[in-house]
Chain A
């Protein structure tokens, strides 16, 4: 079978199977678009497969912005560094006007080429061909070529770089902490071939994630703030960490695409939302990065335009089964963990933590119904205080004082407080400890009992691999089960959606039975912008691409 080319011709066979599932009502349109485009099917073609016109989607984005104008965005202004080590989406948004990406993920979960002209994958997703966009230039005058792409991908695979989170996304290319020999090959100046060690249908999603900014081939491992070399239309005029970042159109560079605004200012108002409100009231910015909690309604009532997007972002309240307190491991006992989960009605943290802005989880597993395409429905969670007390009593832990730790930050703190209050209502002893953000993350995987926020991922299997595999660096629950790992391997290898769901159901049930964590809800994210600003809709991963923003 000939592999499908992005942007033309017949589609990937799997994509056609997915299209059939959509027609049968087994898969949502959104899930389909995400999965089909990940396999290299172009967006118009993907829409076509399910009998829709992509222009309908385009129309929803509205008009083309006019040229020129200044935009002021409220956002934390963080220091830039090696993009591979970005740990905040804000960093990527600051630099996105200069360093662009191979692909981008749209609000609806679809993948679109940016610095690539297209890509294709073979049938079992072990070989990818990347077609580099021709005619793109670096702002130092060099041509953007396949060499750049290969150098970046090789750099992503370098697990020896501290904090390089791309290595886990590129895991299928990595051998002994480096790109496997022959895994990344430049075929010609506009073509790169990737040979995966294991099948991975989510590889291209990794390339659309915020640490995957494309650097000049000679500047891998540097911060763009130091040299300003990129392919984007903008350049830094001012870069003050914690204060403001100003970008203006680069007059010496011919941008390959379209950019509207002349000037973009990112303004840092700190982490207190009431300060953002004060700034908005004083007309000091035009767009928020993310509007949170009670402030969502308030910004809307001020006449700002609200946009929202459902995500799989969540706050989990988890125990660490391996943590020792005074020489014992209180959470090694599954009865204790189950008791904690049973004492909580997940609707309460949803209401008190995030004012109901999101959906209640189906049960305590980290796969989001309606968002993750591989979510499988299992029996829903029911609060049962009697059973919780019985289990806790049986474990002899009724008098144990649980110390529940959280970060000192609006919704995470409130969610955790709501859980703590319910545990107390069930008669368990709970002590709350709140840490400032600066100290909280030092030991976030090791706290015996704490809450953690997880950001959005496109598929459920991605999250489970990151957080619950025994060997995962981010495994904060101390849940290490061979059976679970085996199921994870099986699920990761399944390309087909329906087939994966069956395995996912087992994984989900296992998480519930083991009481791995309390996962009360999945959040919707909100953003506000002034009337007349185009392209400012909230993105599941908070992305702000200043090339696309503009005034009507």
Chain B
């Protein structure tokens, strides 16, 4: 079989049309910029021109993406085929956006996002990868780890299999990697690994950082000194040294990661218990319910995740992942602690804190319900950024042969595996690199929009 082209049969006429549209868009943007400076009267016209050309470009792009719907299978190119593989994601995205748009007035801060175009783009990017992770099984044409197909090593995108078996997909849509595995399948399945570890690890790091950072900043004194001492100690550990020391098989055999998990995973439960307790201490029934539920569910997760001793046998986490997870939380938590502590130091001098103190509110109430909400802007920004950082950190660990197993399809490992031959076979490292960038970009746009919208409230 012949290799696929990027755009398939419609390419010869659609591509030039798209090119013209892109050129027109560029021209319109330049004209609009000039109009803003020199001739403000022409602005409405140039603005319309920008929108029209943008629409044309979007239409052209959409035509490529939707190619698989109208074209005969043999006429479709790589883009249309990839788009077709992603159908569950498109469906889920469509439903989510339609519902959210319809109900946005009733959805609070989340609803406000849909009034912010950059926020919508950010949310779209993040949700795209989230749904990709969820539906990865339906999307991948090949097994990302086991399918090593002869003759497909370092092949360019669209290469046809030499001898596809019946029922097997006929092409490596984004080419093969150095071990003849499908780059497309690996990137899609990699989303599942990355989105399984990075956000959760970041969340845990935040729980630890907040539970320790707010009291440290608010109460000061001995607690602050002691906590800051420990945090600085951990921060002073170069990450690589820490991992080189922690990931040796001997230390794993001694159970150090498990003990670290046992301590670190306790923080979210503690956090929630204190949170509910402070909020509802005047309403005993509600307090009992929320605290009880937290302890029950949290305890169950805790046993499964940290000790691998889930009484129901549902939750378990592989050893290699646990080490990475724990180490990433361990490394991130002190930074979060520093930031939270700094913010608390700043906020506690504000008037509304003084007012709450005069009202006679408890210390935990002030910390969690007065100070914390007011620190959420910078924290949200940092949270979204930090998920991206964690993703990058996972790749950094792969760079030194530490962390996840080597055949793991996660993006960091794939980039590291392919970077040596980037100049000759760019796709195996480039595709996951674009994936990382787009996810982090989405998180940043989302964070920014959330901050703007929360300030507007």
Contact = CB atoms under 8 A, between A and B. Distances in A.
B406 A424 contact: no
Nearest to A355: B153
A276 B421 CA distance: 12
B146 interface: yes
Interface residues of A, number: 28
B154 A274 contact: no
Contact of B153 (A352, A436, A439): A352
B103 interface: no
A434 B421 contact: no
A298 B424 contact: yes
Given A421-B148, A424-B145, A274 B419 contact: yes
Given A294-B424, A351-B153, A439 B146 contact: no
A414 B249 contact: no
B150 A351 contact: yes
Nearest to A275: B420
Given A352-B179, A418-B179, A422-B148, A436 B424 contact: no
Contact of B401 (A273, A408, A422): A408
B55 interface: no
A439 B148 contact: no
Interface string A417-429: 1101110110000
B219 to A, nearest CB: 43
Interface in B236-271: 248-249
A294 B178 contact: yes
A348 B420 contact: no
Nearest to A434: B406
Contact of B420 (A274, A355, A422, A439): A274
A390 interface: no
A417 B148 CA distance: 9
A352 B147 CA distance: 13
Interface string B137-157: 000000001111010011000
B146 A424 contact: yes
Contact of B407 (A295, A352, A432): A432
A348 B150 contact: yes
Nearest to B178: A414
Nearest to B408: A432
A422 B420 CA distance: 25
Contacts of B407: 417, 420, 432
Most central of A273, A274, A352, A432 by chain B CB within 10 Å: A352
Most central of B153, B400, B420, B421 by chain A CB within 10 Å: B420
B94 interface: no
A181 B147 CA distance: 61
Most central of B145, B146, B248, B401 by chain A CB within 10 Å: B401
Interface in B123-182: 145-148, 150, 153-154, 178-180
Contact of B405 (A294, A418, A432): A432
A258 B420 CA distance: 40
Contacts of A414: 178-179
A51 B153 CA distance: 46
B400 to A, nearest CB: 8
Contacts of B153: 351-352, 355
B178 A348 contact: no
A425 B181 CA distance: 13
Contacts of A431: 405
Contacts of A294: 154, 178, 420-421, 424
Interface in A402-443: 408, 413-414, 417-418, 420-422, 424-425, 431-436, 439
B402 interface: yes
Contacts of A298: 421, 424
Contact of B148 (A273, A277, A418, A436): A418
B271 to A, nearest CB: 35
A191 B154 CA distance: 59
A46 to B, nearest CB: 43
B420 A273 contact: yes
Contacts, number: 61
B421 A274 contact: yes
B249 A439 contact: yes
A226 interface: no
A351 B178 CA distance: 11
B401 A433 contact: no
Contact of A417 (B147, B400, B406, B420): B406
Contacts of B178: 294, 352, 414
A408 B406 contact: yes
Nearest to B143: A424
Nearest to B249: A439
Contacts of B148: 348, 352, 417-418, 421-422, 425
A424 B402 CA distance: 24
Nearest to A436: B401
Contacts of A348: 148, 150
Given A274-B419, A439-B248, A425 B146 contact: yes
A272 interface: yes
Interface string A167-207: 00000000000000000000000000000000000000000
Contacts of A295: 420
Interface string B68-109: 000000000000000000000000000000000000000000
B405 A434 contact: yes
A272 B422 CA distance: 14
Nearest to A347: B150
B180 A352 contact: yes
Contact of B179 (A421, A424, A434, A439): A421
A294 B153 CA distance: 11
A431 B321 CA distance: 13
Contacts of A355: 153
B115 to A, nearest CB: 47
A432 B409 CA distance: 13
Contacts of B248: 439
Most central of B405, B407, B419 by chain A CB within 10 Å: B407
Contact of A421 (B146, B154, B400): B146
A163 B419 CA distance: 37
Nearest to A405: B249
A274 B423 CA distance: 10
Contacts of B424: 294, 298
B421 A417 contact: no
Interface string B20-34: 000000000000000
B264 to A, nearest CB: 24
A31 to B, nearest CB: 33
Contacts of B180: 352
A417 B179 contact: yes
Given A294-B178, A352-B153, A421-B146, A413 B420 contact: no
B146 A434 contact: no
Given A418-B179, A424-B145, 17 more contacts: A273-B420, A274-B421, A277-B420, A351-B153, A352-B148, A352-B180, A355-B153, A408-B406, A413-B406, A420-B407, A421-B146, A421-B147, A432-B405, A432-B406, A435-B249, A436-B400, A439-B248
Interface of A: 272-274, 277, 294-295, 298, 348, 351-352, 355, 408, 413-414, 417-418, 420-422, 424-425, 431-436, 439
21 contacts: A274-B419, A274-B420, A274-B421, A277-B420, A294-B421, A298-B424, A348-B150, A351-B150, A352-B148, A352-B153, A352-B180, A355-B153, A408-B406, A418-B179, A421-B179, A424-B146, A431-B405, A432-B405, A432-B406, A433-B405, A434-B406
Q: Which 3 A-B pairs have the closest CB atoms?
A: A274-B420, A421-B148, A408-B401
Interface of B: 145-148, 150, 153-154, 178-180, 248-249, 400-402, 405-407, 419-421, 424
